[in-house]
Amino acid sequence: MRLSPSISNRYNPAHFVVLTKFVLSFAVSLSALFVYIIAKGDLDLRGIEVTLSVLLVAMGVSALNQVQEYRSDAMMDRTKHRPVASGAISPASAIVTAAVLILSALWLIYALIGMIGVDLFLFAFLWYNGVYTPLKKRSAFAVVPGAILGVIPPAVGWLAGGEHLFTLDFIALALFYFIWQVPHFWLLVMLYHRDYKEGGYPTAMTLFGKMSLQNVTFAWLMMTIYTGAFWVWIYEPYSKVILALLILVGIWGFIASLPLLKKEFRLSDAKRVFWHINLAFWSVSILIAIDAYLSHHVA
């Protein structure tokens, strides 16, 4: 794909936001913030700096990912207007942007938690851009190893909050974040499976068929709820009100997942399920963070 010299060097804020998947990257960075609060029981400048470091690395690997996939992106309606795919930004400019963001993230995380933070960020970079991205072209199951990436931001927040990774508390938390990634992605597959097919990606829709994918996604959502309940049980909320709200969120997630079992389920209905289960997921993290803060300041 030739990029037009007349437009390849245009660079404006809107391009930067799309290139770095800023909204998604920001959401990813919030998981580090919430887990930092859970680990430390407080919110301070260090927590904000940790969140910023995760935001920078997420933006950097996202920008590099768009360079890797710009030819496929150009073939899909959902992604053809991305800056590199459309020719608004040259691949070289995007690579420079990615490098600056990733190096800035490495410098900041080293200042905060040392080499273990650098190792986690380098792993995220290598796994996302070196393993997961090329694997998506080869396997409909790439999302499973890719889900490991969802554990990196909370791991960084946990370490920055002064805790250790090899504890039951973190293992329970990490399982919740890991399992949730799979149904999250498969609901997107239901919504955009034609786009993925046009881009040359094998999908679970093609592999399983519509009804089987609905059932498999429902099973993963039930595992997400189960691991969420396990995390809550291990954590032992301080506030009975928070505990009651967490139970209600679990019930909400279950009810929101039930349409997947219906034969008359339309693929467009996946959008509603997607937003409900994502809101439920984030509600669990937010409520536990609030509980940790209350426990630290009130108890």
Q: What is the CATH number of the domain that holds 151?
A: 1.10.357.140
Other beta carbons within 10 angstroms of residue 6's beta carbon come to: 8
Structural domain harbouring 19 = 11-162
Reported as a pLDDT band with limits 50, 70 and 90, residue 299 is low
Reported as a pLDDT band with limits 50, 70 and 90, residue 191 is confident
User: For all residues of the chain together, what is the average pLDDT?
Assistant: 91
* Average pLDDT value for residue range 97-119: 96
- Its pTM stands at 0.91
Q: Is residue 289 part of a domain?
A: yes
Tell me how many domains the chain contains. 2
> Is pLDDT larger for residue 189 or for residue 122?
122
| Domain's final residue, options 162, 178, 212 | 162
- Provide the pLDDT for residue 148: 95
Reported as a pLDDT band with limits 50, 70 and 90, residue 217 is very high
The angle subtended at Cα 236 by Cα 231 and Cα 242, nearest 5°, is 95
Beta strands in the chain (DSSP E): none
> Residue 58 half-sphere exposure, CB side, CA atoms within 13 Å?
27
| Domain's final residue, options 108, 138, 162 | 162
Q: Are residue 211 and residue 113 in the same domain, yes or no? A: no
Q: Are residue 94 and residue 156 in the same domain, yes or no? A: yes
* Average pLDDT value for residue range 45-59: 97
> Which residues 6+ apart lie within 8 Å of 84 measured at CB?
19, 66, 67, 70, 73, 90, 91, 94
- Provide the pLDDT for residue 262: 92
Q: Are residue 98 and residue 139 in the same domain, yes or no? A: yes
Judge contact between 16 and 97, C-beta under 8 A.
Answer: yes
- Supply the angle between the helices 115-125 and 45-68 in degrees, to the nearest 10: 30
- Provide the pLDDT for residue 199: 79
Q: Is residue 5 part of a domain?
A: no
| Domain's final residue, options 135, 162, 189 | 162
Q: Is residue 6 part of a domain?
A: no
CA dist., res. 68 & res. 73, Å (int): 10
pLDDT tens-digit map of 139-188: 888 999 999 999 999 999 999 999 999 999 999 999 999 999 999 999 99
Q: Are residue 22 and residue 135 in the same domain, yes or no? A: yes
Q: Are residue 109 and residue 182 in the same domain, yes or no? A: no
**CATH number for position 210:** 1.20.120.1780
- Provide the pLDDT for residue 203: 83
Judge contact between 261 and 219, C-beta under 8 A.
Answer: no
Q: Is 15's pLDDT higher than 50?
A: yes
* Average pLDDT value for residue range 44-68: 96
Look at residues 42, 48, 54, 41 and name the one whose alpha carbon lies nearest to residue 235: 41
